[in-house]
Amino acid sequence: QQNELNSFLWTIKRDPPSYFFGTIHVPYTRVWDYVPENSKKAFQQSHIVYFELDLTDPYTISALTSCQLLPQGENLQDVLPRDIYHRLKRHLEYVKLMMPSWITPDQRGKGLYADYLFNAIAGNWERKRPVWAMLMVNSLTEVDVKSRGVPVLDLYLAQEAERLRKQTGAVEKVEEQCHLLNGLNFSQV
């Protein structure tokens, strides 16, 4: 039952009330039907919405892309053990080979072809830091590829907030997330 679901919504008792909603970085279509009505209603009634990051800001996207890269002159091959690097390279070759069969007719109709998607996800992979290469590999599955073109829940809510002319903001800066993830050592990754 919709009203019995865990809403991941916390109320901060003030006038007017504030809400804190926990999201997940997956295509919104995978979870939207399971977001309880009280959470949707709180979002609809809100005037100001803050997100983890402002995913509608071109600077945010650019900074996220830049922070994933190793220092100038370094490549993944230089920092990964040889066997892991070769396994990664073979896996990416396999994914590139399989991607045409993973693309949906709807994606093709939107101009999202296998080569384009592969390059959008894995382009410049040799320059990524190990933690970002790991996150990239985790998103290169058939299910995830079939979901490309559908915004993640945070982005969907941000786009809805803009469409509804709500005031928006972010509680974190890209640099804060990048510093945290890039600070993990190889054994932690």
Q: Give CA–CA dist 116/11, Å, rounded.
A: 42
Closest CA to 54 of 44, 46, 64: 64
pLDDT for the residue 2: 55
Tokens 């009634």 correspond to: 45
Q: Exposed, middle or buried by CB within 10 Å (0-12, 13-18, 19+), for 174?
A: buried
Quote the DSSP letter at residue 152. Answer: B
pLDDT for the residue 6: 63
Tokens of 116: 């384009």
Single pTM value for the model:
0.79
- The residue count of the chain comes to 189
pLDDT for the residue 37: 86
Q: Where are the beta strands (DSSP E) in 59-162?
A: none
Q: Please report how the helices 130-138 and 82-102 are oriented relative to each other, as an axis angle in degrees rounded to 10.
A: 30
Mean pLDDT by 10 residues, the chain (189 residues): 66 85 86 88 92 90 92 94 96 96 92 91 94 93 90 93 94 90 83
Q: Give CA–CA dist 156/77, Å, rounded.
A: 36
Tokens 């007719």 correspond to: 105
CA distances from 183 to 59, 63, 113 (A): 22, 16, 35
